[in-house]
Structure formats: structure tokens, C-alpha cells
Amino acid sequence: MKKFFVVLMLALGCAAGAFAQTDEEQDISRNRSKYANDQFREDDQYTVAEPYATVTVTQPKSRRIKNVIVMIGDGMGVEQVGCGWVLNGGHLNMDNMPYSGYSRTYAVDRLITDSCAGGSALATGVKTRYYYMGVDPDGNPVPSLLHDAQQKGMKTGVAVTCRINDATPLDFVGHSLDRDEEEINAAQFVDSGVDFLSGGGIQFWQGREDGRDLVKEMVDRGYTFVDNLEDLNKVHEGRVLGLFAPLEMEPALDRGPVLEDCAMKAIELLDNRKGFFLMVEGSSIDDWCHRQKVGYMAEELFDFDRTVGKVLKWAEKDGHTLVIVTADHATGGLTLIDGSLPERTVKVHFSTKGHNGILVPVFAYGPHAEEFTGVFENAELARKIRALMK
């Protein structure tokens, strides 16, 4: 009944034909900023019937970092966090992280970044150009935090809700000058050595133009392949490749706790005496801000925040895990113009279908979390993590 009510509110709060297959929707590109405009539209509003419970955690006493978990809300600026806070009755798991700061997201060649350059700075510690992933401004490959972890003998993982070969995951795993080279970028994962991979985008792994079956190639390298949560939950050892959708996964209310389950399964499989590095992305917050649908955006943010809560409770028990939650950029020029905290409702205005350049939040928990306060560049955030991983 609860799910039915929330879905009903989504339908009422969004413009008619939210899922109509427009030319934009049929384009498989993830570069939604190319549809950006500054035309004003009818305000969107949303109400949450029942908030979810949030966790509380205590900072660990240990100063030793064994594991690092970087969690990225794609398109999640302070505006999105603010709306989510109201809609969940004044509580988010991110609120309970004891240290916070702000990150500047601009690219080398554009004030308003894309996920490629924004994510690349977070992954490598080097700012780069729009559309570039895992490379410097001259196009030279740059090692990421994930690569550093592999060099140290740590296990590594990536869990997202978008296609696994998209901008942010590729920023951590590979190198590319063009996000639209989808099949080429997907092929980089085969020999990446990443221990846990989950997301969507199976159409770039099988039925490819070059005839390669990347899933089979990964299985031949010892990976267990799964395409549903039931099979994923049966895996208790070894490397995993999980591909759960042809492109991006379904909206949060339809797909269920895929991100939560994948993140916690990754932690289960990666945890070892040498430590691990895990990147988790709430990829679709961005998608629904591009489409200017605050209800769908909020449910994606809640899905991400619930995952944050699960990770924080595990990290508290572990005592040696640094958890960083941030964003690659903000999306939609979102403004909260009305609403009610007691009634858990918001009324908003989107000023653009593209990205915007406002500072994004950084939340930190665990050993040395206090080093992530203040205002700094997105690339500096990665350099701070790199220094602590040494």
C-alpha cells in the first residue's frame, strides 16, 4: 500500500507523459546536458507519505585506515540534499556523518563540468577537460585511486545504477577521451582486475558490433556473472560481474534495493586483511534532474542515502574504514521555493535541464575524516584520499 501511494504521488507530481518516448528519451547517450536550456517550466512538487529511519554512528577511535569507500551522488548538489532532507522529515543518513565540506567542480575548459571531467577529478586527483575520463588535459592516462589500491594489493570494487561503462565508473577503472565510445570503453573492464563490478549496460557487453562477448571473457577470467539479486546473494567468494539492465536500471521504486544489496555484497566479498577500495554511485539522481522530475530524483537520492546508512553502520563496526560521500556536480538548477517540513512536501523550480556549477557537499566519516572540512577543489579531495592511503 505504501509503495502504491508513493507511486501515485509521483504520477500526480510530474507532468503528464513523464515516460513518453521522446526523441531525447530514445537517444541512448548519457550526455543529457546537450539538451540544456534556460526555459522556465511549471513548478514540480512531491510529498512523501512515510519517511525511512536513519542511522546514527560514532567516530572510530582508530587512526588507521584499512578500507576506503567513496560514494558519489551523481548530480547531487546541496539543493538535492536539501529537498531530500525536507521530504524525509528532517533526517538523512548523510546528516550523521560528523565532518563536512564543499567541493568546486569546474573542468579545465568549462565552468560547468560534465560527469566525465567531474568524476575524473574525484578519481585521479587531476582536473581535466569536458568529456575526458581518467586522463589529464593533454589526454595522457592518469592512475585513479582504484589503481593505487590495486598497486597496494587491496581488493577493489565499483557499484553503480547506470551502465557500468559510463563516465563515473570509467573514471575510476579506465581512460578515454570520448564517453560515446561505449563498446570500446566497456572492453576496458575485461582486463581491469577489478574484483567486484555491478551496474547496467549489458548491451555493450554482448551483441556487440565487433562480435566479442565480454561477459564470457570475464567468466573465462574467473568472474561469477549474475543478472539478478537472487543470484548475487548466493555468491560468497571470488570476483563478481553483475549486469542488471540493458542500459540504466529502472527507477528506484521499480528496481528495489539493488544499490544497497550490491554495495553490501561488494563489502562482504572485498573485506580482507590488506583492505579494499570501493566506489559506489547513485547514478540516477542526475538523470531525473535532467528530466526535471523532483519526485523521481528524490527517490533516487533516498535509495543512495539508504545505501550510505548501510555502509556507515558497517564502517562503524569495522573501525578502520574511511567513508567519503560527495557529488561530481549539481544538476538542474534546482530551487526549493515552497513546501512543509511537517508534511514532508516540497515545491521546486528547475532552471535548466543541464548541469549547474554550484559547490557540492562533501561528507566524511572514519579515521582522518576531519581532514575533509572546508572548501576545496574536487581534485584536491582525491589527493587527500591518496595521501591517506599511503
User: CB-based contacts of 300: which residues, under 8 Å, 6+ apart?
Assistant: 161, 251, 252, 282, 284, 285, 287, 288
CA distance 351 to 358: 13
For 243-260, write each residue's pLDDT tens digit: 999 999 999 999 999 999
Q: What is the DSSP string of 124-156?
A: HS----TT-BSB-TTS-B---HHHHHHHTT-EE
For 184-239, write each residue's pLDDT tens digit: 999 999 999 999 999 999 999 999 999 999 999 999 999 999 999 999 999 999 99
Q: Which stretches of the chain are DSSP H helices?
A: 2-13, 23-26, 78-87, 115-124, 145-151, 167-173, 182-187, 214-220, 229-232, 252-255, 258-270, 284-290, 294-318, 378-389
User: CB-based contacts of 313: which residues, under 8 Å, 6+ apart?
Assistant: 55, 57
Residues labelled catalytic: 115
Show the domains of the chain with their CATH numbers.
2-6+41-389 (3.40.720.10)
CB atoms near residue 196 (< 10 Å): 26
Q: What is the DSSP string of 176-225?
A: BS-TT-HHHHHHTTTTS--SEEEEE-GGGTSS-TT---HHHHHHHTTPEE
> What is the rounded average pLDDT of the residues 158-171?
98
CA distance 385 to 61: 19
pLDDT value of position 390: 83
pTM for the complete prediction? Answer: 0.91
For 286-336, write each residue's pLDDT tens digit: 999 999 999 999 999 999 999 999 999 999 999 999 999 999 999 999 999
Across the chain, mean pLDDT equals: 92
For 117-132, write each residue's pLDDT tens digit: 999 999 999 999 999 9
